[in-house]
Amino acid sequence: MALTFIDGAGRLSRTKRGTQAHMRTSGSEVMSVKRGTLGFGTAAAQRLRLAASLMLLALPLAGCGTGALWDKFLAKDETAFADEPADKLYNEGLYLMNQRKDNKAATKKFEEVDRQHPYSDWARKSLLMSAYASYQSGDYDSCIGAASRYVTLHPGSPDAAYAQYLIAASHYDQIPDISRDQGRTEKAMAALEEVIRKYPTSEYAVSAKAKLEGAKDQLAGKEMAIGKYNLEKRNFIGAINRYKTVVTQYQTTRHVEEALYRLTEAYMSIGIVAEAQTAAAVLGHNFPDSKWYKDAYNLVKGGGLEPSENQGSWMSKAFKKVGLG
């Protein structure tokens, strides 16, 4: 029986010649086994790596609910195909506004045109209609926002005048009563003046002028209320300053006649009779049929005086400045 062993150098030795063939056969078998083992190890390693990857992916999903997350991942994106033709959305908005009288729903349709078709001509039209629909529904802040954006994006458009007018009208419709702060009134006046200045020949300039007089009348009324309060408290200088504002800044309002009478009253009360006489004279010259002139005349006459205008008085100069008197 042939014996094999490994020597100290690690070389294979044999005792008989016949064993060489046996060793070649054995070596082939050994190598075959090694190759088989190597092949199995590579495939197993790949499967293990894949399993590990799936486990790592599953770990964070387990904490937040795999079902919901995978549903979102696999769900079809409905919104990507939800766009509708611009003219269809626009006409739906018109229908909702004119036929259904649902301005809020109409506004959403017009806004959708701008969202889905931002660079189209329909978007430009829809932006203006959105401002109008918001105005109709009393959502003045949204109207001002949309109309301001329109003026900024389309300053040369024929409808820019109307957009500017919507801004002014939104402020005007929010004017409070004279007992409250008049900041909104001042904003309305500024916006109305902008319409008149930028679009003087437009149809909206006429309406803006009428509203501007209304806003001025409101501010004049505020000054009159404070002036009367000061008169009641016998703060004649404070009252004179308020009435002076009405006479110099709001001469075309309905309050100017009473303001001139109150000036006559206040000046008489502190003994500045020359100014009292001038106030009465200016009142009589510009508003001879006014009931306030009759009261002013009687007040001056009661002090043994006659209405007499001092041409150098601030009141005479104020009225001449605007072509009155």
Residue 245 falls inside a structural domain: yes
Domain boundary at 122, 137, 152, which?
137
Report pTM: 0.68
- Give the tens place of pLDDT for each residue, 106-139: 999 999 998 999 999 999 999 999 999 999 999 9
Please give the residue range of the domain that contains residue 117.
83-137
Taking CA 86 as the corner, what is the angle to CA 83 and CA 89, rounded to the nearest 5 degrees? 85
200 inside domain: no
From 101, 116, 137, the end of a domain falls on 137
Last residue of a domain, one of 100, 117, 137: 137
Tens of pLDDT, residue by residue over 5-62, are 334 443 434 444 444 434 333 444 333 333 333 333 444 445 435 444 434 444 444 4
pLDDT digits (tens, 9 = 90+) for 186-244: 999 999 999 999 999 999 999 999 999 999 999 999 999 999 999 999 999 999 999 99
Asked, for residue 176, whether it belongs to a domain, the answer is no
Per the structure, the count of domains in the chain is 2
Judge whether 158 lies within some domain. no
In a domain, 119, yes or no: yes
Q: Which of 309, 253, 243 is nearest to 280 (CA)?
A: 309
pLDDT tens digits, residue range 133-161?
999 999 999 999 999 999 999 999 999 99
* Dihedral sign, Cα of residue 44, residue 46, residue 52, residue 55: negative
Looking at residue 324, what is its pLDDT? Answer: 57
pLDDT tens track for 266-300: 999 999 999 999 999 999 999 999 999 999 999 99
Residue 9 belongs to some domain of the structure: no
Residue 240 lies in a domain: yes
What φ, ψ does residue 201 adopt, rounded to 5°? Answer: -95, 0
Residue 252, domain member (yes or no): yes
For residue range 173-199, what is the model confidence (pLDDT) as tens digits?
999 999 999 999 999 999 999 999 999
Check if the beta carbon of residue 263 is closer than 8 Å to that of residue 247: yes
